Amino acid sequence: AKSRVVKHGLQGVLDFVGCNANVDLERLLTVADANGKLEMVTIQFPDPHFKARHAKRRVVTPELVLTLAKFMPPGATVFLQSDIKSVLDDMRFQFRLESSLFQDNVQDEEEYLAENFFPVPTEREVSVLEKNLPVYRTAFTRTTERFFIDDEEPQP
């Protein structure tokens, strides 16, 4: 992915970082001085971790949602998609728990975005669609609600 950023002249505009988001994301965004600069986050086709004992490994946790709220400015987008309805519903639920910070762009939780709004689908998405299987999607917008951490000063 990083080589494609260079190939298309997108240095300084687009970047990819591989990490365990539930362990390293806040630290990486702090080091990168990304406060208020994170315009879009996509979480696409995460490992489902069906077993209850592996639930802690799911990508979207309450802590992840709060970390994103801390670094995303109002109007920023979180795009979620999965080929497993329960996985998308669980991710969506985590963001909906923080409805003062993120607004679901699809109001009815039984409905999903019909299309990916990115011009290039992921390899997984192509594979799923070629098999005529569904892809479940939604997007959230960061609200103007200020983010507070316990007794700290408000975050923009």
> CA angle, 107 as apex, 22 and 132 as ends, to 5°?
75
Catalytic residue status for 108: no
**Sheet of strand 102-104, all strands in order from the earlier edge strand to the far edge:** 40-44, 77-82, 136-142, 102-104
Report the Cα–Cα distance between both ends of the chain, in Å, rounded: 30
CA–chain centroid gap for 25, Å, is: 12
Which stretches within 14-118 are classed as H helix?
Answer: 21-31, 62-71, 85-96
Q: Which of 15, 47, 108, 150 is catalytic?
A: 47
Report the number of secondary-structure helices (H) and strands (E) in the chain. Answer: 5, 4
Q: Where are the alpha helices (DSSP H) in 74-136?
A: 85-96, 123-130
Catalytic residues: 47
